[in-house]
Amino acid sequence: MREINVEVITNKIEEMCINANCILNNDIYEALEKGQKNESSPVGKDILQQCIKNAELAKEKMKPICQDTGMAVVFMEIGQDVHITGGDLTEAVNEGVRRGYQKGYLRKSVVSDPLLRVNTKDNTPAVIHYDIVKGDKIKIDLAPKGFGSENMSKIYMLKPSDGIEGVKNSVIDCIEKAGPNPCPPMVVGVGIGGNFELCAKLAKKALLRPINKNSDIEYVAEMEKELLERANKLGIGPQGLGGNTTVLGINIETFATHIAGLPLAVNISCHVTRHNSCEI
């Protein structure tokens, strides 16, 4: 049994909050560069160049890439041979978010009640997903998620008879209706299977995978490629002003489901699709 003190986790989360908000991941940066070279619209080309410059300045000065520094989403894979010591794990994660958002001067966007709307002033609580896995390590993925794009996400409870074409059409429908609202070019996470809540978690988790790495499942990888091509023919373009760079990447995750259902979740993200990982 390996012991890990909660303070180690808090310190890691603090660091990850700042890095995720200030340093754009290489796969997104490279996709922006590729999009800028291939963009047919002069306005779109200029917008993408500004996005690249913004990312460079954010990294150089360690300032947020976007003013919406998001609600912290944390995925934790905890080895079954790990013993957490020194305090409560959930509070340790939230303390890391609290410190990171204060130290990094990141915008605090979380309200304590969805209807009463009182700001917590420290961006807690985080949304935390725990999974128990084999081993004696803890893997943490932190993904601050802004709500300009989150608000454009959808869940579709399809019928099995809708099949693959129904799934594809629903994904494209969601992207088309999102239009300019999520600050395109977008990154799209898709979850298929499970049930109502699991497909949404799968879609969120899909955003963690590098957009230059397709699914290991052959037919899913083909869907990702086809949907990306279809999405970029919608003409929405950078910032919704027209062009052929509407989506930078589409990642799909799947899970078993019930014989009577075909749950589908589409989690839209903006071009600032932020995430940071570590292993303890």
Cis check for the bond before 185: say yes or no (omega within 30 of 0): yes
Q: What is the pLDDT confidence band of residue 54, given thresholds at 50, 70 and 90?
A: very high
> How distant, in Å, are the alpha carbons of 67, 99, 175 from that of 237?
22, 37, 12
**Residue 267 contacts residue 204 (beta carbons within 8 Å):** yes
Q: What would the mean pLDDT of 232-247 be, rounded to a whole number? A: 97
**Domain spans, the chain:** 2-20+65-145, 148-278
- Tokens standing for 126? 């985080």
Q: What is the pLDDT confidence band of residue 16, given thresholds at 50, 70 and 90?
A: very high
Pair type for strands 71-79 and 138-145: antiparallel
Q: What would the mean pLDDT of 245-252 be, rounded to a whole number? A: 98
Strand runs labelled E in 80-218: 82-85, 127-133, 138-145, 154-158, 186-194
pLDDT at position 219 is 98
For residue 161, which amino acid is it?
S
Q: What is the pLDDT confidence band of residue 20, given thresholds at 50, 70 and 90?
A: very high
Percent above pLDDT 90 for the chain: 100
pLDDT at position 217 is 98
- Express each pLDDT in 188-209 by its tens digit: 999 999 999 999 999 999 999 9
CA distance linking residue 91 with residue 94, whole number of Å? 5
pLDDT at position 37 is 95
pLDDT at position 53 is 97
Residues 6 or more apart whose CB falls under 8 angstroms from that of 277 comprise 16, 139, 140, 141, 142, 208
pLDDT at position 193 is 98
**Residue 81 contacts residue 136 (beta carbons within 8 Å):** yes
For residue 104, which amino acid is it?
G
CA distance linking residue 184 with residue 172, whole number of Å? 14
Q: What would the mean pLDDT of 38-66 be, rounded to a whole number? A: 97
CA distance linking residue 10 with residue 230, whole number of Å? 42
Q: What is the pLDDT confidence band of residue 242, given thresholds at 50, 70 and 90?
A: very high
Q: What is the pLDDT confidence band of residue 165, given thresholds at 50, 70 and 90?
A: very high
Q: What is the pLDDT confidence band of residue 139, given thresholds at 50, 70 and 90?
A: very high
Listed residue (277, 113, 266) closest to 191, CA to CA = 266
Residue 2 per-residue DSSP state: E
Q: What is the pLDDT confidence band of residue 254, given thresholds at 50, 70 and 90?
A: very high
Question: Average model confidence (pLDDT) for the chain?
Answer: 97
The overall pTM is greater than 0.85: yes
pLDDT at position 111 is 98
Architecture in CATH of 2-20+65-145? 2-Layer Sandwich (3.30)
pLDDT at position 8 is 98
pLDDT at position 77 is 98
- Tokens standing for 172? 């494209």
